[in-house]
Amino acid sequence: MAENKISEEIYRKACEVLPGGVSRNTVFRKPFPHYADKASGCYITDIDGTERIDFANNMASLIHGHAHPAIIKAVTEQLQKGTAYTLASEIEVAYAQLLCKRVKGFEKIRFVNSGTEAVMAMIKASRAFTGRPKIAKAEGTYHGTYDFAEVSQTSKPSNWGDINNPNSVPLVYGTPDGVLENVVIFPFNDIERTIAILDRHAGQLACVMIDPVPHRVGLIPGTNEFIEALYDWTRKNGTLLVFDEVVTFRVNYSGAQENYKVTPDITALGKIIGGGFPVGAIAGRSDIMKILDPREPNLKFPHSGTFSANPVTMTAGFTAMDLFNRDAVIKLNALTNIAVSQIKEVIRLADIPASVSGAGSMFRLHLTPAPPDTYREAYQAEETVSVINELLDYLYFNERILMINTFSCMFSTVITQKEVDILSESMLRAFRTLKPKIEKLHKK
């Protein structure tokens, strides 16, 4: 690790002031994380001078890669005018108009500061509108770091319980029992079991929350039948159907919800809509969003935020999403499909038990002959996680490729066929190098 001396020294100092030396666990790697120096397009250079192709794009948030010239220009102009005010800004209105025009179910929108905050606001809005305490969510899905949203995020065989009545499992030690009692867990894409579970809590559920292509479940899209069954159930039982599209809004021009006949009541957004800056938003039906309206005599959901809709984020987001027009979405998704096809060919050439899942401009690899259909199938034992980490390290150190630590890629519009070919060739070498360990996972 001699070539990473600067990163190693910074990490030594970091451990003196940051828990574990990091502010987010996603950037931690053993024996120490590397520190970015600069990034442009789809390339990122660490402080020790190593350049890598970035297929992670800051956990799916950089739809145009790093330092896009149009975004930099727009933000720089805004910076000269100020970064945040105790006044509204015109760009907030223009951006709201852009997003509401983009998605038919977005009648009103409220900006916040992160995906986690968006989900939190969406859950609170659902409770305020319905007057009910409980929410329902799919087992294993990630919805940020709000107590209620993170229940059963990392369920495992020792605690997930009967599939017909999954346990509500805390993520953080000390989570109050009251939180667990108010979160109902159901199996993703399993209509019969899910409806039976929801029926037991009818009249108490404020919302059924769904990520239409949940990353942690395996990056498997929700089936039309499943999503429509949830919609029909919520219509019959006075419950809201809410979508977490913080990650999946990149799937289509109007988000992953464009794939379905039904329209969610509220949608949580984040990541790409910030143009590289912290952001979140909730959007949905006017009658629901009205609970946030300060003109209401009986304001059910008082809401504010120091940096909500700050003009820097709004400017960056507006520019990014204006550039990510329908043609750009189609072009990016087409390139991603080519990448998936090439990786499937790599898997065939390497002759290993592996598969690919995904949607739009994102995909995930699995060390199984076929992608999982459920969270319990997607769950990975320690031995599998260890081999995946070795594959990721091989790609990172030997091939100069950065991926998300679930063995996933989130493409940006600045990636070209050149980078796709490098990814495919690198994966072939990685699979061939670690083939004995991959095959060992499937031997009894």
Active-site residue list: 142, 244, 271
CA distances from 101 to 95, 252, 253 (A): 10, 14, 11
Neighbouring-strand partners of residue 140:
none
Whether residue 374 contacts residue 190, with contact meaning beta carbons closer than 8 Å, is answered with yes
Whether residue 123 contacts residue 305, with contact meaning beta carbons closer than 8 Å, is answered with no
Whose CA is closest to 90, among 269, 249, 260, 311? 311
Whether residue 201 contacts residue 184, with contact meaning beta carbons closer than 8 Å, is answered with yes
Helix (H, G, I), strand (E, B) or coil at 367: coil
Neighbouring-strand partners of residue 267:
243, 283
Give dist(CA 75, CA 68) in Å, integer: 11
User: What is the number of alpha carbons within 13 Å of residue 97 lying toward its C-beta?
Assistant: 5
Give the largest CA-CA distance in the chain: 68
Helix/strand/coil (H/E/C) assignment for every residue in 159-225: CCCCCCCCCCCCCCCCCCHHHHHCEEEECCCCHHHHHHHHHCCCCCEEEEEECCCCCCCCCCCCCHH
Neighbouring-strand partners of residue 243:
210, 267
Whose CA is closest to 247, among 21, 368, 411? 411
CA dihedral sign of residues 4, 10, 14, 16: positive
Helix (H, G, I), strand (E, B) or coil at 294: coil
Q: Read off the DSSP letter of residue 424.
A: H
